[in-house]
Structure 1
Amino acid sequence: MAREGVSYEQVAAVADALVGDGQQATIRAIRERLGTGSPNTIHRHLAAWRDARPQMAAVVAALPDALTAAIAAEIAKAASTARAEVEGRLVLAQTEASELAAVGEILEGERDTLAEHIVILTTERDREAATAAERATELERQGQELQRERSAAEAARIEVAQTRNKLENQAEKLTEQQALIAQLQAQLELERQGRIDAEKLAAVTAAKLEAAEHRAQVAEAATDELKRQLNQVRELATLESSKAEMANTTIATLNGKIESLQTQIQQQARELDAAQQEVKAALQTAAELRGQLTANAK
């Protein structure tokens, strides 16, 4: 919200009080008493207050010589007083011009400082944007790795399912072989060689079953490891997504700050232009006062 400037009535009241106290009504003195106010605004109201003050008017009338001489002496005294007042106004105008020039230099310094601040914030914004882009690239890469891990896990699951089917088929075959062994054992006494062959067949079948069970255990262990790695990748992807969102928020905040600083620089530039115009006006007033002083001296 823009700050409300001081009014003419406030400046005029303080100026009257300063003159009543025997002091000069300057921009600095009025600003110190008010405790606020732009130097440009105070200078504008102070000039209007000075223009509104009653000026001494010369009265010419046909009077006796003695009275004319006395009046001439008073006029000379009044002219001296007027000259002193004009000189005082000239000094005040010069002082105010110096104060306005100093204010202009301060505003230029603030403008340069804000410009440097914008450069710093712009650099920081670009750095955050680059970091966000790198994080997005890394997140995409991890997503691709996650997809590959999922494909590998799916392939392992299919392999485990196939192994289980094979185990079931082998279990059915084992049952059949065990029945065959039972039949062979029943015929042991009648056919010794047949019993030996049956025992060999049972041993081979048991070895195959053991090997199949071992492969199934290895496949299950691989599946568990792939599930664990998949969970880790999912957690990492979630974390990187949160970081990317934070980086986007930071960039938005920095953009807001940069826009605010640019608005401040534009405002400072306008105030600087106004201050320079006030300085020119004050210098022109000083030149006019010098001309009046020269004319009065003649």
Structure 2
Amino acid sequence: MQMKSTRGVQQDDVWAAADALIAEGLRPTIERVRQKIGSGSPNTVSPMLEAWFATLGPRLGVSGAKKDMPGLPVAVQSSAAKLWEIALSQARQDAESSFTKDREALAAERAAVEIQASALTQQEAVLVERLAAADRAHEVSQKQISALENQLRHLQTALAERDNKILEVQARLSTVEQQREAERQAFDEKSKHHAEERLRSDERALANERRLMAEIDRERQDVKRAKAQATELQQRALDATNALETRTNELTQRLRNADEELRIAHQALATANERADELRTLLNAQVDANADVLKQLQAMMAAQTRPPATTQFKHRIKSQAKDQRKSYKTSS
């Protein structure tokens, strides 16, 4: 009875693809048959390919029933049977050796993929830690910026207070000048009759003027120093702001680079996992196929069939084992 796939792949398609691969000198595998057909899942192709392998013995011209060799002496028949058993045993040993080497090679590749996946996982952990460190550094930078902004506000407040003090001194100077002018006018009125008093008044006014000028000079020096200090503080604040902005840009770029590295690591890890899954699927399929071939060899040995051409059949079995070895290398 012919099996059909729910996806439209029929047993005839699988068998035809397997025959075509044999004609090309390749051993039929699940992946090669799927590539040959162009469709079909491994679960669909696998049982159909196993059915094809089950017909391999009869299609090679090997009969399942033991037959006598009329016209030949019993001793010759016994020797031929022993030679046939030896050929089957040797073919089985060759096939098992080939299968063992292929399984070991596939297991080694699978272990390499798992090591790569572990390395990618460790790389991901390192990138995550780097991202966390960058976040912490960014948070510290933000706190430093906030502290400098507070310091700048205090400096601006101090500068405003200095400006107010300058205005107060200027107002006092204007008041003193007005008082001096009023005193002079009053003194001028009295100078006609009080020359000596005028002289004393001039001396007092001169002393007051000198005192006020000295005070004004001190205030001007204080204002000059305050302005210089304010300018220096503003420049320091500007330099700090520029440095922090540069640092923030560097941290932002580092965060972007770390995100990109983490994305690449995730992608590589996903690819490695997909490759490991594919290798597991291929390994299981090849183990099943190898088990079928070994069962056929065991059945042939148990039946002790008469070989139409012992040497040719042994070469044929060795050729199949060689094809299986090639198929493993190709699929890996």
Confirm or deny that 1:211 pairs with 2:218: yes
From the superposition, tell whether residues 58 and 11 of structure 1 become closer, same or farther in structure 2 (CA, over 3 Å). closer
8 Å Cα contact 2:166/2:223 also seen in 1: yes
Determine if the alignment matches structure 1 residue 116 to structure 2 residue 119: yes
Are 2:107 and 1:104 aligned? yes
**In the superposition, relative to structure 1, how do residues 11 and 133 fare at CA in structure 2: closer, same or farther (>3 Å)?**
farther
CA shift, 1:267, in A, is: 1.7
Mapped pair 1:294 → 2:301: yes
Q: Structure 1 CA distance, aligned partners of 2:19 and 2:169? A: 106
**TM-score, with normalisation over the residues of structure 1?**
0.70
Q: CA deviation at 1:283?
A: 4.9
Among candidates 229, 235, 259, match of residue 222 of structure 1: 229
Q: CA deviation at 1:236?
A: 2.0
Q: Which has the higher contact order (CA 8 A, sep 6+)?
A: 2
Q: How high is the TM-score relative to the length of structure 2?
A: 0.64
* Letter in structure 2 aligned against 1:209: I
- Aligned twin of 1:232: 239
**Aligned equivalents of 1:160, 1:17: Cα separation in 2:** 98
- Indicate yes or no: 2:145 matched with 1:143: yes
Amino acid at match of 1:157: L
Report if aligned partners of 2:131, 2:258 keep a CA contact under 8 Å in 1.
yes
| Cα pair 1:150 1:230 within 8 Å, conserved | yes
**1:168 maps to 2:170:** yes
Partner of 2:257: 250
C-alpha deviations, 1:169-220, integer Å up to 9, x for none?
A: 0331243144246437746672322222222222212111111211111111
In the alignment, which of 192, 204, 209 is matched to residue 197 of structure 1? 204
Q: Could you tell me which amino acid in structure 2 is paired with residue 103 of structure 1?
A: L
The answer to whether the Cα contact below 8 Å between 2:138 and 2:251 also exists between their aligned partners in 1 is: yes
- d(CA) in 2 for partners of 1:95, 1:247: 52
Alpha-carbon distance between aligned partners in 1 of 2:187 and 2:134, rounded to the nearest angstrom: 77
Q: What is the percentage of aligned positions where both structures have the same residue?
A: 11
Provide the secondary structure at the position in 1 that maps to 2:61: coil
**2:160 corresponds to 1:158:** yes
Contact 2:127-2:262 at 8 Å conserved across structures: no
In structure 1, distance between residues paired with 2:18 and 2:304? 32
CA-based RMSD: 4.2
Equivalent pairs, count: 267
Please identify runs of 4+ aligned residues in structure 1 that moved more than 4 A.
Answer: 7-12, 25-28, 43-53, 57-60, 76-90
Question: What letter is aligned with 1:158?
Answer: A
**Cα displacement string for residues 237-289 of structure 1 (whole angstroms, at most 9, x for unaligned residues):** 21232123223323322332342233234323323432442353255235413
| C-alpha separation in 2, matches of 1:254 and 1:11 | 44
Structure 2 alignment gaps of length 5 or more: 1-12, 36-41, 306-332
